[in-house]
A and B are shown apart, each in its own frame.
Chain A
Amino acid sequence: MSESRLPWYLSFALGVLFIFLSLLAAWLGVRNRLDTDQSFRDAFVSFSPGKPLTQTFTARHDFINIVILQFKNPGLANRGEFRFSLKSEEGVLLVERSFSGYNIGDPSLVRFQFDPIPASRGERFAIAVEAVSLNEPPIGVGIGRTGGLSFSAYYRTADKKAGLADLLNNLTQKLLGDKIFFALWALALFLLAGQGVKVIRRKL
């Protein structure tokens, strides 16, 4: 094998192998996939008893089963009681979880996992958090620029075939969602890979 070709073979082989094996691990290993993400956070705001903070979202998939919220418990000082709830658009209580300040870091993501909600696709849900006891010293919950809660929602994949389609679909959407980066990245890839192909062909 020519010494000029070897690095190109290595580069192509390793690049493809890493991406393929990573996708394979993600496909076979992951059961809960991202449905909706609004995780950018501008600030933490405190909340008090009787005044829940809410956020609505429309699920893109069936079997919604996890909601993750961002909290901040300054100095880990608050050990009060709090409540998370998930309601349907009609106000039907679907999930309710109590949690303690003991479980909240400075800051931390808190995961609320529940039985998958069938036929959740296209349905509108309302997330709410409220303090059960006096929120002192105040724990804050992350909010985004629009004032809504920062959150991520996940769903349970139905089967491996659907999981593969979702994995590839989510990845493509994420790549194409940043068009400028994708164009420049693809151009660099195309130019370098083209040079590699040229070197490999020249020596054949």
Chain B
Amino acid sequence: MAEMSIIKKIVVFPCLQIFLAAALLRIILAPFFFHPDIKTIFYISQFFANGVINIYEYLAQNPEKLILGPFVYPPLAYFFFGSIFPLIRALAGPAFGQWLAMGNEAVAVPHIFRYLFLIKLLPFAFEFLVGGLLVKILKNSRERQLALLFWFFNPVNIYAVILMGQFDVVPAFFTLLALYWAVGQKKPLWGAVALGIGGAMKSYPLLFLPFLAIVCGRDWRQQIKLFILGVAPYVIFTLPFVTSPSFRADTLISGLSQRMFLLGLDIGFGERILVVLLALVILFLLAAWRSGSKQDLAAYFLAVPLFLLAGSHFHPQWLIWAMPFLAIFIAKENKLFLPVVILLMGWLGTILLFDDKFLALGLLSPLDPGILFLPPLRELLSKIFQPSLLQSIFHTLFSASAIWIVCLVVAGKQHERI
């Protein structure tokens, strides 16, 4: 009887219901939507199973293999996807490798639904791991449920993870793990390592590291120690490749590092004040001024990606970087609802107007490959409105609400209850 009661409690446990309902939505949608990015990553990762370690040089020396472009992520992402490739290939069947080697428009092949479902399993698993961490981090039952509902059912996760299959949720998990270890478990050293591992998959978690070091370090010695420990995993994984010209060209100079320096105020004589960098430095100085208050860390971890995206031409999946932290704050403060709605509207309008058919109607191409003959939404819209102006309006909405949210969470008191 006691056992039955425990099982019953688990089944009706509200958080479990959210996890199950989230799984249902992912199972319904995953097979029918396609974006080429994740296919390219799996195509390149298959070489790891063949024993290729330095993928950057391998592709440079074997241009006939470079049919879907270079590998632009740090080496750990390659090792990670390469390690799970044999399992996915075994489940997908013998033609999977052939499909991966096809072009971006390969949606008419038999078994396409199976392939799309399988290549999205890894991002889904990490979405659920993030959900588990949210349950661990938040103590209040209602806040847990609100955070999980937001995390699993927000438009960014649906678009970037379920429809596109982007793996940004993997480094996002490590940034949340860093917060959990540094603040919840009072193990900042582990938190720094988690950021380093995330940074070795996609560089952006390294931008969180100065904040973790300055907020969680007791004195300057520990702050430096935390910083070095956080950088270490990134250095360990990238150092063997630094001498490779292809690695330096394709990966070290990433899209993020180029785009975050584009917004500037011209002060003449060829000089510019770089606005995103300016904002990040001011945020860091604020963190240093308030150092010692570990509860602020979640606010800084939310502020960094929001500043980056507010001032840069972003990729749709980059907003995933902020979503776990936004879930925490929106669960605590109802007043964030309006700015978050404007933020998400601005984000959606911006990305749907990119000149890329795979970011809008092209996502639906597995349902009907004929969709790929249709022009991007931007081109369709250009007949009635200037798309670049409309896109700028959406990005401005996004930026305004992003900066407002940063102001609220950094200056407000919501974080004190984390």
Q: Mark B142-153, 1 if CB is under 8 A from A, else 0.
A: 100100110011
Bound CA span A202–B8, Å: 13
B354 at the interface (CB under 8 A from A): no
Q: Is the CB of B370 within 8 A of A33?
A: yes
Contact B29 A154 (CB under 8 A): no
Docked CA distance A174–B25 (Å): 21
Q: In the complex, what's the smallest C-beta–C-beta distance from A106 to chain B, in angstroms?
A: 8
In the complex, which of the residues B14, B101, B148 has the most CB atoms of chain A within 10 Å of its own CB atom?
B14
| B370-A11 in contact (CB<8A) | no
Neighbouring B residues of A15 by C-beta, 8 Å: 24-25, 28-29
Measured CB to CB, the nearest residue on chain A to B18 is: A7
Report if A189 contacts B (CB, 8 A).
yes
The A interface, classified by DSSP as helix, strand, loop or mixed, is helix
CA distance A175 to B153 in the complex (A): 26
Does residue B108 face the partner (Cβ distance < 8 Å to A)? Answer: yes
- B98, CB-defined interface residue at 8 Å: yes
Q: How many A-B residue pairs have CB under 8 A?
A: 150
Known contacts A6-B149, A19-B29, A29-B371; is-contact A195 B114 (Cβ 8 Å): no
Q: Known contacts A41-B101, A152-B108; decide if A181 and B114 are in contact (CB<8 Å).
A: yes
User: Which residues of the other chain, A, contact B371 by a CB distance below 8 angstroms?
Assistant: 25-26, 29-30
Question: Is B27's CB under 8 angstroms from A185's CB?
Answer: yes
Whether B109 and A32, one on each chain, are in contact in the complex, defined by CB atoms closer than 8 angstroms, is no
Per the bound structure, the CA–CA distance linking A189 and B26 in Å amounts to 10
Contact-size category for B: 35 or more
Whether the Cβ atoms of A185 and B117 lie closer than 8 Å is yes
Given contacts A40-B98, A109-B105, contact A26 B24 (CB under 8 A): no
Count of A residues near B, CB < 8 Å? 56
User: Would A25 and B21 count as touching, CB distance under 8 A?
Assistant: no
Within 8 A of B (CB), among A41-63: 41-42
Set of chain B residues within 8 Å of A193, measured between Cβ atoms = 24
Q: How far is the CB of A20 from chain B (nearest CB, A)?
A: 11
- Complex-state Cα separation, A202 to B21, whole angstroms: 16
CB distance from B64 to the nearest CB of A (A): 7
Interface status of B338 (Cβ within 8 A of chain A): no
Chain B residues with CB under 8 Å of A12's CB are 24
Q: Specify which chain A residues have a CB less than 8 angstroms from the CB of B12 in the assembled complex.
A: 4, 199, 202
Cα distance, A4 to B148, chains bound together (Å):
12
* A10 lies within 8 A of B370 (CB): no
Contact B367 A22 (CB under 8 A): yes
Residues of B with C-beta under 8 A to A189: 24, 27-28
The verdict on A188 contacting chain B, using a C-beta distance below 8 Å, is yes
Can you list, as one digit per residue, whether each of A174-193 has a CB less than 8 Å from chain B (1) or not (0)? 11011001100100110011
A40 CB contacts on chain B under 8 angstroms:
95, 98-99, 102, 109
A30-B370 CB under 8 A given contacts A19-B29, A25-B364, A109-B103: yes
Asked if A39 is at the interface of the complex by the 8 Å CB criterion, the answer is yes
Whole-angstrom distance between the alpha carbons of A170 and B178 in the complex?
47
How far is the CB of B103 from the nearest CB of chain A, in Å? 6
Q: Does A8 contact B (CB under 8 A)?
A: yes
Known: A10-B153, A18-B29, A40-B99. 10 other contacts (CB 8 A): A18-B28, A22-B32, A26-B371, A31-B373, A34-B368, A39-B108, A66-B373, A74-B64, A167-B368, A188-B27
A sample of 21 inter-chain contacts (CB < 8 A) reads A3-B145, A7-B153, A8-B24, A10-B25, A11-B21, A11-B153, A29-B374, A30-B368, A30-B370, A32-B370, A41-B101, A70-B102, A75-B63, A107-B67, A167-B367, A177-B111, A181-B111, A181-B117, A192-B27, A196-B21, A199-B17
